[in-house]
Amino acid sequence: MLARALALPHRPPLREAAGAGRTARPPASSSSSSDPHGSSLALSGRRRRVRVSRAGRRWDGSGEVFVLDDGGEVDLDLGNYERFLDIRLTKDNNLTTGKIYQYVINKERKGDYLGKTVQVVPHITDAIQEWVMRQALIPVDEDGVEPQVCVIELGGTVGDIESMPFIEAFRQFQFKAKRENFCNIHVSLVPQPSSTGEQKTKPTQNSVRELRGLGLSPDLVVCRCSNPLDTSVKEKISMFCHVEPEQVICVHDVSSIYRVPLLLEEQGVLDYFLHRLDLPVERQSRRMLIKWKEMADRYDRLLETCSIALVGKYTKFSDSYASVIKALEHSALAINHKLEIKYIDSADLEPSTLQEEPVRYHEAWQKLCSADGILVPGGFGVRGTEGKIQAISWARKQKKPFLGVCLGMQLAVVEFSRNVLGWHDANSTEFDPKTSHPVVVDMPEHNPGHMGGTMRLGKRRTLFQTKTSIMRKLYGDHDFLEERHRHRFEVNPVLKNCLEEQGLKFVGQDEEGERMEIVELDDHPFFVGVQYHPEFLSRPIKPSPPYFGLLLASAGRLSHFLQKGCRLSPRDTYSDRSGSSSPDSEITELKFPSVSQD
């Protein structure tokens, strides 16, 4: 049986400003993978890129590579869906042009088509529809319930050559699924030039006309705009786009992204889906939306600020750290603080910059020294690594809260080896294969002869080695955790004892005890490194424990939080640093990602 509804967001030529993966998202709470009326959701994304996966993509070209539980490397938009809906997707939820062509070619090679001529229509289009049918039935939440709704995001621009097979596939599919089971949403930008202040509807009219010419007529037109649409503008779009005025949905600029689901609900989108798709009504689930509204209201009332220095090599393009930024935002909201991220290009912290551009050098160090906490996220390549090591050294010596993720953890070990153990040439073999102190080495998990196949990818289990670890307490005092990985290099296990003797403790290891997963420094308020990427499992009301620990420490609240058994009440207003008793400085009750005890 097919999931009862399918929604297909399309975009006009001005698609980038329309908000890929954000604007057309169903208004669901992050505490459940269902909408506020209790309908279970499945998700499938369509990408026009001629690639099988995001493996090997540049971080600074089209945003981060988001990693799923099964190791799938996908577009960052799927991360947005996971965070908002609190679901767990697989690599098959992401269908690219490269994937579908590879799938069809492999079938042809195996003789499945019995020697027939393989064509875009019907073979490619049929394969797309079959893929959707399969994914629509696969549960994506912890309940294991078969989805009632499958949300499909068709990326790209109406009229793109790459999108044509997908559009044709869904033109056919709407008749197979029947109208009562198929809903088409078109996402469009309504620009408003500052010179005139007039809201322009031509891009929307043209894109809908072209889409209808291809055989798909939108049921809802979602307009992304700076300001609320005037009534006359809505009526104009309604007239030219063949929809009722109530089917023209305005998504204008709001104070935070958390208000977008509320904005959609206010305009009757939920009720429209209930009646249009004949979905069951479960009013009790509206409590999720109420909880979401409380979170959005609290976000707007934040007064205190916590600043985090993000030291990386891709800081000019924030989408390179999309999940990291969201994880910081979730944790800052959990402690009722505004988040201020100070982006620092790690190369600007290096001595060579002092000689070439002293102003940039001093500005970078001023940002670093004035931040409440320091974060060194993951990355690849040698450029800027010495600057990251300089930042880590400063955090260690000044007892500044520090979190290193993936490469950030590896460089923390390199810095400690150089400046505490006296191994001055200590390095990663990624950057210096001939170093006499290889503290970080290549530990491939798969076929080393295949680029993209050598990484340790997906969800892996980490076992805690001690009961007194800060990270263990932040993870709910469980014996193990499960987080997502994406790396080739790891701390050299041969040198583990030498490092631990000097106070750098490897409190988390893999199940075989060969891979160092979590490191903590003795005699430091919060100096933590994790080899995995905890940001991929952070949720708006279920923040990632490592990031939450960093924000707590940066706000001066970590020690009290730990003393209270990591279970502070919503009204607890204690602050180690300021003693603030403002209601806006409360720490909320939190739910961390659940850990199965199998």
Q: What is the mean pLDDT of residues 108-136?
A: 93
pLDDT for 26: 35
Decide which of 59 and 225 is more confident.
Answer: 225
**Of 263, 280, 298, which closes a domain?**
298
Active-site position among 153, 533, 566, 586: 533
Which residues are within 8 A (CB) of 78 and not within 5 positions of it... i.e. 6 or more apart? 21, 43, 45, 66, 68, 89, 93, 94
As a whole-number percent, the residues of the chain with pLDDT over 70 amount to: 82
pLDDT for 39: 55
456-464 and 504-510 strand pairing? antiparallel
Q: What is the mean pLDDT of residues 79-86?
A: 90
Whether 533 sits among the annotated catalytic residues: the reply is yes
Whether 535 sits among the annotated catalytic residues: the reply is yes
pLDDT for 45: 60
- Is 596 domain-assigned? no
- Is 329 domain-assigned? yes
Whether 369 sits among the annotated catalytic residues: the reply is no
**Of 236, 271, 298, which closes a domain?**
298
- 264 and 312, same structural domain? no
pLDDT grade for 482, boundaries at 50, 70 and 90: very high
Sign of the CA dihedral 410, 416, 419, 424?
negative
Q: What is the mean pLDDT of residues 228-239?
A: 96
In angstroms, the CA 485 to CA 519 distance is 16
Check pLDDT > 90 for residue 579: no
| Contact by Cβ (8 Å): 245, 233 | no
Active-site position among 150, 225, 250, 406: 406
Which residues are within 8 A (CB) of 176 and not within 5 positions of it... i.e. 6 or more apart? 129
Sign of the CA dihedral 535, 539, 540, 546?
negative
> What total of structural domains would you count in the chain?
2
Q: What is the mean pLDDT of residues 29-46?
A: 49
| Domain CATH code at residue 487 | 3.40.50.880
Active-site position among 64, 483, 520, 535: 535
| Contact by Cβ (8 Å): 328, 308 | yes
As a whole-number percent, the residues of the chain with pLDDT over 90 amount to: 65
- Is 553 domain-assigned? yes
**Of 298, 331, 365, which closes a domain?**
298
Which residues are within 8 A (CB) of 119 and not within 5 positions of it... i.e. 6 or more apart? none
- Per DSSP, the chain holds a count of helices (H) and strands (E) of 19, 21
Q: What is the mean pLDDT of residues 478-493?
A: 94
- 349 and 288, same structural domain? no
Which of 176, 178, 202, 160 lies closest to 10, judged by CA? 160
pLDDT for 567: 64
Check pLDDT > 70 for residue 47: no
pLDDT grade for 3, boundaries at 50, 70 and 90: low
- 235 and 127, same structural domain? yes
Whole-structure pTM value: 0.86
- 225 and 160, same structural domain? yes
**What is the average pLDDT score of the chain?**
85
The lowest-confidence range among 77-91, 144-158, 209-223 is: 144-158
- Is 430 domain-assigned? yes
Q: Which of left, alpha, beta for 397 (phi over 0: left; psi -120 to 50: alpha)?
A: alpha
- 379 and 498, same structural domain? yes
Which of 292, 305, 376, 377 lies closest to 335, judged by CA? 305
- 315 and 258, same structural domain? no
- 537 and 431, same structural domain? yes
Which residues are within 8 A (CB) of 403 and not within 5 positions of it... i.e. 6 or more apart? 373, 374, 375, 376, 526, 528, 529, 530, 546, 547, 549, 550
Query: How crowded is residue 382: how many other Cβ atoms within 10 Å of its Cβ?
Result: 12
pLDDT grade for 141, boundaries at 50, 70 and 90: confident
In angstroms, the CA 581 to CA 137 distance is 50
Q: Determine what percent of the chain falls in helix, strand and coil, rounding each to the nearest 5.
A: 40, 20, 40
Residue 338, domain extent = 301-585
- 478 and 436, same structural domain? yes
Which of 373, 369, 387 lies closest to 313, judged by CA? 387
Q: What is the mean pLDDT of residues 133-160?
A: 87
pLDDT for 499: 95
- 195 and 343, same structural domain? no
